[in-house]
């Protein structure tokens, strides 16, 4: 029962929580009310932002789960970043926008072996804009499933975000839904569907990282992705 009230906090978040809490304490001691209340709200928000709730991850081999919490704000055909090694033909790109109120832990969309982890510096445009995929700072991750299919997803910094954290390395074997990093503070995550994957979500749908099934592999069915463009 207590687990419903006490959600784990990212290790990376404790120093930010500590800084805000210390500033709030100093404001309280000095009696500066106009500073105390905003700092208290920021301290409480930082605890909320760095939460890392457990997830119930589906274990089917034929699916791709959401790599992040947030709202699907775009589904478009797009050429993947070159560093992913997914070729130069357009693939279905599903973009998940994370507000500052979403869980910011990223999770791998499928089980497999990490092949590419490539950082690229860039701008800090609003992560909701389409140009953010090409222009913003990003971390591109490509994985190889057990059947040899390559899956790519990208952590993208937003105008508030200034740090992308990636906790996996090339050659590492990962399980579906496994934590792979996070982004501070407000961002976007793009998932590129490989050929043969059938899209199961639409624009405006809310994702739960590691739980929501975004696509499935079904060689006998036509991909639904073309209906979303």
- Virtual torsion, Cα 176, 198, 53, 96, nearest 10 deg: 120
> What is the number of domains present in the chain?
2
Residue 185 pLDDT exceeds 50: yes
- Look at residue 165 in the predicted model and tell me its pLDDT: 86
pLDDT in tens, 23-70: 998 988 888 788 889 999 989 988 888 888 999 999 888 999 999 999
Q: How many CA atoms lie within 13 A of 20 on its CB side?
A: 18
- Look at residue 126 in the predicted model and tell me its pLDDT: 66
Are residues 84 and 127 part of one domain?
yes
Kindly indicate the confidence band of residue 221, based on its pLDDT and cuts at 50, 70 and 90. Answer: very low
Are residues 94 and 68 part of one domain?
yes
Element (DSSP H or E) covering residue 116 = strand 112-120
> Cα separation of 12 and 50, whole Å?
8
- Look at residue 127 in the predicted model and tell me its pLDDT: 65
Are residues 32 and 141 part of one domain?
no
* 58 in any annotated domain: no
Are residues 96 and 26 part of one domain?
no
Are residues 199 and 96 part of one domain?
yes
Residue 148 pLDDT exceeds 80: yes
Residue 79 belongs to what domain range? 63-228
Are residues 168 and 112 part of one domain?
yes
Report the predicted TM-score, pTM, of the whole model to 2 decimal places.
0.84
**Residues that are catalytic:** 187
Domain of 155: which CATH number? 2.70.70.10
């Amino acid at each position: 029962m207590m687990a419903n009230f006490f959600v784990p906090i990212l290790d990376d978040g404790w120093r930010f929580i500590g800084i805000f809490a210390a500033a709030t304490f100093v404001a309280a001691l000095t009696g500066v009310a106009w500073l105390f209340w905003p700092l208290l709200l920021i301290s409480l928000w930082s605890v909320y932002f760095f939460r890392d709730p457990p997830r119930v991850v589906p274990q089917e081999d034929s699916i791709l789960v959401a790599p992040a919490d947030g709202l699907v704000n775009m589904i478009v055909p797009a050429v993947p970043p070159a560093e992913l090694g997914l070729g130069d033909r357009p693939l279905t790109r599903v973009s998940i926008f994370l507000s500052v109120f979403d869980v910011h832990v990223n999770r791998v969309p499928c089980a497999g072996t990490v092949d590419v982890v490539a950082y690229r510096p860039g701008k800090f445009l609003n992560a909701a804009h389409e140009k953010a995929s090409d222009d913003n700072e990003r971390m591109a991750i490509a994985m190889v499933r057990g059947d040899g299919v390559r899956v790519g997803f990208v952590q993208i910094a937003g105008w508030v975000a200034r740090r992308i954290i990636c906790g996996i390395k090339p050659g590492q074997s990962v399980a579906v839904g496994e934590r792979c990093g996070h982004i501070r503070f407000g961002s976007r995550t793009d998932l590129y569907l490989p050929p043969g994957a059938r899209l199961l979500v639409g624009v405006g749908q809310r994702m739960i990282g590691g739980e929501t099934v975004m696509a499935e592999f079904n060689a006998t069915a036509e991909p639904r992705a073309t209906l979303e463009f």
